[in-house]
Amino acid sequence: MLQPSDIEDMVKRTQKRFGAIDVLCANAGIFIQGDFAAYDMDAVSDMLRINIEGVLRCAHAVIPVMREQSSGDILITSSIAGHAELHRGPAYGATKHALETIVNTLRRQLADAGIRVMSLAPGKVANELWGYEDAAEIERLSVAEGGWLRSDDVAAAGLFMLSRPRHVTVRTVVMVPRHQEA
């Protein structure tokens, strides 16, 4: 698991190599689903630490650099679970609701520093997390059947958000596959 010192080292190495940090994409998380009463609470604790604390620590580490530069973008990957309650994921949903709160408060705190803070909240994405690695199967599930997003769909939305003029902040993009109920 990533340690706080690893995050600080990552920021220092990035700044040294590139001279600046233009974008932080905080895209990490684990997903626990099922009957809450059957949850392994140690696993839930790990999920809280990764899904919330990991994002907080990464943002906390880059904000001083971005303030010094008077610019930067923080793009946090949230989830549809931060906007709609998912029946089988109450603890996961809580982490994503927390991220939405973090995004919206940091956005206001950092706007005058020239830092944009945004949230990208996808629904189901056919990727390794769900056991999908075959490109043809991913195309069938997402494009033909409309039940899943592709990782490329999510990446394109993030690129759209980051490529807006500096005076525009796309606060949140919520995207779901055509047939997802949430």
- For 39-87, how does the pLDDT look when each residue is reduced to its tens digit (9 = 90+)? 999 999 999 999 999 999 999 999 999 999 999 999 999 999 999 988 8
Which residues are identified as catalytic? 92
pTM comes to 0.93
Tokens of 72: 């930067």
Tokens of 114: 């020239």
CA distances from 158 to 6, 91, 120, 134, 161 (A): 25, 25, 7, 23, 5
Asked if 107 and 116 count as a contact pair (C-beta separation under 8 A), the reply is yes
pLDDT of residue 84: 93
In order of their start, the domains of the chain are 4-175 (3.40.50.720)
Diameter over CA atoms, the chain = 49
